[in-house]
Structure 1
Amino acid sequence: MLWLKYALALTTLVGFWGAGLGLSPFIPLPASLLGLLLLLLGLVWLKRIPSALLRVSQFVLGHMLILFVPATMGILLFAEKLADNLLWLVLSIMLSTLVSLGVTAWICQRQWQNHAHANTDNEHVKR
């Protein structure tokens, strides 16, 4: 009977991906992201994670490397085109990395300052 729970959990994961796929023509986000957001909303509404869903999702995440095989094959198939644009690819990767690190550092710094400021205000109230 346990296999039935796991089969239902896997069907649930695939179903949420399918729901995201159905919404993707209307919402400009990838189907997998929409499916994850729907799953998140469902779990928040449920207020717990079913144990079978947790086990199946951990198994899938543990074997996620298999999902990168098509991307690797794409790189091998289009190696010549990638080599022609290597400079622009490297520059865009470096620039996007620097921008994302800068934005993340800026947000963390603001949050840290707000948190420190809130703690200082709370100490004044306690006195």
Structure 2
Amino acid sequence: MHRFRSSKALFRLKLGSLFFILLFVSLALLIPAVIWGTVLNHSDDLLYAEIALGAAVVCGLGYLMVGSGVRCPLCHGPLIGKPNCSRNRKAARMLGSHRLAVASRVLTIGCFRCPCCGEPCKCDVRS
């Protein structure tokens, strides 16, 4: 398994993964809250939609600043950023997204498969 060279890169990967998961969840909560608040004309639900929108903006900015520059320790392909390469056939998907699969595996298991090169990587620093 491949490991990261510095603890700074590992910290950025974990923080970027957290921001990406929170962005995904806040956007998933935003859409029903807006629909529910406008159809039933409830001001409380529209307040929840505004909170979810604010959380999505904050998490999106945090994801862009922290996580989009994290690269694979082997091929230097983007892990949770915008892909510039073709995806490997061994790369896992979660709900159709390679980035969501990498982010969830980083936070839960601590190892993932790079979506660009397909090699397994461990969330650990080289000794």
TM-score (norm 2): 0.27
Which of the pair is proportionally richer in helix? 1
Higher strand share: 2
Higher relative contact order (CA 8 A, sep 6+): 2
- Bigger radius of gyration: 1
